[in-house]
Amino acid sequence: MLNAPFDLWFPIASSSDLAPRHVFHAQLFGQEYAAWRADDGYVNLWENRCLHRGVRLSIGINDGAELKCQYHGWRYANRTAGCTYIPAHPADAPARTICNNKFPVAEAHGMIWTRPDGRTDAPPPLLSEPLSDDAIVLRPLPVNAPSELAAEVLLTYRFHPEGDNSSAAVTASRVAPFTVSLTSEAGGHTARLTLFVQPVDLGRTIIRGWLSGVTTPAVPLLQAHDAGLQVLRDRCEALARALPRPEATAPVYPPVPAELADLPATARSGGAAALRVTVSRKWPVAQGVMAFELRPLRGILPTSQPGAHIDVTLPNGLVRQYSLVNAPGETAHWVIGVKRETPSGGGSACLHDVVREGDVLAVSAPRNNFPLRQDASMTTFIAGGIGLTPLLAMAQTLHHRGLPFALHAFAASPAHLAFADRIAALRPHSRTHFGRTPDETATDLKDLLAGYAPGRHVYICGPGPMLETARRIAADLGWPDAAVHFEYFKNTTPLDLSSTFEISLARSALTLTVPPGRSILDVLRDNGVEVPSSCGQGACGTCAVALLEGEALHQDVYLNAGDRRANHTILTCVSRAVSPCLVLDV
């Protein structure tokens, strides 16, 4: 094993190597990295290996917001490295924990830096040092020699501050194990050259550097250094040939997390990991609608997918669900839109009236119970009011990928249309419908849903009555259940909690009784069985479990008619039993 100083920062690329929409292959101590810059400027530095089947990500596609693996088209998000989409299973949300291995990264002085031990507690060396504005980055020079040898040879480098061949007073020293600092003085001019040796592996090195105190035109000066350093390279390689050739360093392939090793039965997203976020911005986006931009207190936010929501714990103790509006690659913050409900149950009023910019909120990791298929020949989004938010995230995703879609946003008036800027950016694929009566809305929906063909999908989110109408019209026009995707804000079904029945837990060999007034979820939790849940009213789908035997009394608004007929799934927070006993896959 290599005895490498992993607690140091090393330059591994020039900033200019990370050209727009390019993926750069870097290497340090035998470990390969895929380095890419997203359109928002963020530099990602990942292990150069897709966790699915090990294909180098440096041959992948940087689309500006995500990196797409060449082998199976898996998409990984800017900043988080989390997988956002697995094309082989378009109906599922990928498990949120599929995440490529990331490395610390810093960009400074025209170079990209990392630290092999993964720690970020100290900044790269020399970065705190002021560097004059005229500093220029040298062309990197690969050398077939160990870095220690290269550093020794670089101490003998001689150059003139203005790049000519006359003599100059040069001083040189090793200022750090992999850094050589040289100063050259002549004719009243002083130039300072800082050179770094990047150990690609034990026998190969890349020399990087920058030059400050430059007074003459840069290009001839760079040419002079190129020529001078190439002479040193030749000398270095001649010396290296006399040494025993070190073996190439074997890279380390860390194992994936244990929970990813097993084949998932079906995709489940969940996890109530509490995160702390700051309200970095709060602003009105429509009449009665406030947008909130949330940023992590430290580190980065977990990966989200279009359609995902988060639980927000409010200062008054209430927990509410809000969909993320984020576009692909928009990973530095989350954006939610909150409509003031009248009368408010205390959630939206608290966010509107109490929560301010700078406040800290506890939120859950994103859950995606409303996943977007990205394999449709045409996708129609029908949004009513604030039901726009998850559909906006979806439409922005398809727009970014250049896939066919149409977004129809219904609102009472232009003043009631939230995120109008984002909708406008989707033109001509977005359309607004203002001030439509229920009958007019139904007429519009009949137009929008006419002409079902296999490959078409529709996603609907909005107030309950509009959703019911849209679903009914879709069914009348021949849309199969599997092509109609919907999300309710809330469940207005009157709940019958009067029955008593048994639940038998197949995996834990436990039989429990659910009494009147208690939900299956309550009884599971009372007995120490942890099932994720979110909205608690049968709208979001987080608490769904597989139903193995027995007939359910479905009281949720999450499952579609086909799901209910199949009788394979039950939402444990509201649904109950018709038969005396339900066997659950828990």
Partner 1 sequence: MTERRCTDPVILNQWHPLHPADQMEATRVTRTILLEEPLCHALDANGAPLVWPSAGSAPRLDGSQPSPLPARLAYGFLWACLGTPPDDLFPFPETAEPDRRNLATGTFGVHVSAGRAIENFLDMGHFPFVHTGILGEEPHTEVKEYDVEIASTRDEVLATRCRFYQPKAAASSTSGAEVEYIYRVPHINCAILYKSSPNDLERRDAIALFVQPVGPEQVIAHTFMSVLDNDSSDTGIRLFQQTIFGQDKPILENQFPRRLPLAPRAETPIRADKSSIAYRRWLSSKGLTYGVIPAVAE
Residue 503 CB, nearest distance to partner 1 (Å)?
Answer: 27
Is residue 387 classed exposed, middle or buried when 0-12, 13-18 and 19+ CB atoms within 10 A define those classes? buried
Geometric angle at alpha carbon 319, from 313 and 320, rounded to 5°:
105
Q: What is the CA radius of gyration of the chain?
A: 30
Closest separation in Å from C-beta 93 to partner 1? 12
Spatial separation of the C-alpha atoms in residues 301 and 294, rounded to whole Å? 9
Q: Which is nearer to partner 1, 86 or 154 (CB)?
A: 86
DSSP label at residue 553: E
CB of 248 to partner 1, least distance (A): 13
CB atoms within 10 A of CB 75: 24
> Based on CB atoms, which residue is closest to partner 1, 90 or 464?
90
Q: What is the 8-class DSSP label of residue 404?
A: -
Cβ proximity of 372 and 305 under 8 Å: yes
CB-CB contact of 219 with 178 (8 Å):
no
Distance from C-alpha of 317 to C-alpha of 361, rounded to nearest angstrom: 11
Q: Between 59 and 510, whose beta carbon lies closer to partner 1?
A: 59
Please, what is the end-to-end C-alpha distance for the chain in angstroms? Answer: 45
Instruction: Indicate the residue among 70 and 278 with the shorter CB distance to partner 1.
Output: 70
| Cβ proximity to partner 1, 98 vs 426, nearer residue | 98
Provide φ and ψ at 347, rounded to 5°: -80, -60
Least Å distance, CB 51 to partner 1, is 5
Whichever of 6 and 71 has its CB closer to partner 1, that residue is: 71
Give, in degrees to the nearest 5, the angle at Cα 389 between 569 and 373.
Answer: 50
Phi, psi of 420 (to 5 degrees): -60, -30
**Least Å from the CB of residue 537 to partner 1:** 31
Determine the Cα–Cα distance for residues 100 and 409; give it in Å rounded to an integer: 36
Quote the least distance from Cβ 417 to partner 1, whole Å: 30
**Could you tell me the smallest distance in angstroms from the CB atom of residue 199 to partner 1?**
20
Q: Which is nearer to partner 1, 261 or 509 (CB)?
A: 261
Residue with smaller CB distance to partner 1, 91 or 415: 91
**Cα(36)–Cα(25) distance, integer angstroms:** 9
Contacts with partner 1 by CB under 8 A lie at 32, 48-49, 51-56, 59, 70-73, 86-91, 98, 251, 253, 255-258, 260-264, 374-377, 403, 455
- Pick from 449, 447, 476: which is nearest to 460 by CA? 449
Q: Are 313 and 363 in contact (CB under 8 A)?
A: yes
Q: How open is the CA angle 310-316-321, to the nearest 5 degrees?
A: 20
Find the DSSP H helices in 364-483: 388-401, 420-425, 438-449, 464-476
Nearer to partner 1 by Cβ, of 49 and 79: the residue is 49
State in angstroms the smallest separation of the CB of 351 from partner 1.
37
- As beta bridge partners, residue 209 has 195
- Give CA–CA dist 505/524, Å, rounded: 9
- Rounded to a whole number of angstroms, the minimum distance from the CB of residue 32 to partner 1 is 8
d(CA 426, CA 580): 52
Residue 150 contacts residue 65 (beta carbons within 8 Å): no
Nearer to partner 1, 52 or 295 (CB): 52
CB of 166 to partner 1, least distance (A): 49
Nearer to partner 1 (CB atom), residue 74 or residue 501: 74
Instruction: Tell me how far, at minimum, the Cβ of 142 lies from partner 1, in Å.
Output: 21
